[in-house]
Chains A and B, each alone.
Chain A
C-alpha cells in the first residue's frame, strides 16, 4: 500500500534555531517527492521537487534530502524565522499515475 508518513507531528522551536522534518514513504514505483509549506487557511506552496536521481536540493534556508534506497526524505530549515511557522507536507507521486500521496504534515511553530 502506498503511504507517506511524516514525523514529528508537531514541533516547537525558538527563532534562529535549526530543525529537521522527516518523511518516510512506501510509494512504488517512485517518481518524485515534493515538500510543501502550508500557512494556516492557505493553499500549500511548493518548496522543493526531488526526482529519483537527486539527493539534495536547497531553496534558500530550506534544504531537502532524498535517500531513494531507504525511501526517506528530510527537510532541514536553517536559522528559523517566525514566518516559518506553518504545516510542512511531504507529497510523493508514483510513476504511471495521476495521483499523489500526501503525508499528514508536520506543524512547526517558531517562537520569538
Chain B
C-alpha cells in the first residue's frame, strides 16, 4: 500500500534561517506531488506541484522553493525564512495518471513557527 511521510512534525526557526522540509512517498511510482500551506483558520493554499523528477510548478510568488531530486521525494526549502512563512505545511500525492478516481493523500503536516 502507498504511504506518505513528512517530517519534521514541528519546527521552530529564527527569522533569516534556512528551511528544508522533506516528503517521501512509498508504494507507488511517478506520483504527482504537492506542497500546501494552511494558515491558522484558513483554507489550503497550493504552493508547488510536481508531475515528475525536476519538474516544479509554482503557484504563488514567495520566499520558498521546491525540488524533486528523486521520483518519490519532494523538498520544500527557503534560504531565509520570514515571519510570514509561519504556518502548517502539508505534502500530498496523487496518482500520476487516472487521478479521477484515485486517492489524493496528505502527509501528517509540519507546524512551522518562525520567531
Contact = CB atoms under 8 A, between A and B. Distances in A.
Contact of B104 (A34, A42, A51, A105): A34
Please tell me the size bucket of the interface on A. 20 to 34
B49 A89 contact: no
Contacts, number: 52
Contacts of B46: 99-100
A103 B44 CA distance: 8
Please tell me the size bucket of the interface on B. 20 to 34
Interface of B, helix, strand, loop or mixed by DSSP: strand
Given A41-B111, A104-B43, A46 B100 contact: no
Interface string A85-101: 00001010101001110
Nearest to B99: A93
Contacts of B104: 34, 46, 91, 93, 100
A51 B108 contact: no
B101 A102 contact: no
Interface in A21-71: 31-32, 34, 36, 41-46, 49, 51
Contacts of B51: 98
Given A41-B88, A51-B100, A98-B51, A103 B43 contact: yes
Interface of B: 6, 32, 42-44, 46, 49, 51, 88, 90, 92, 94, 99-101, 103-109, 111
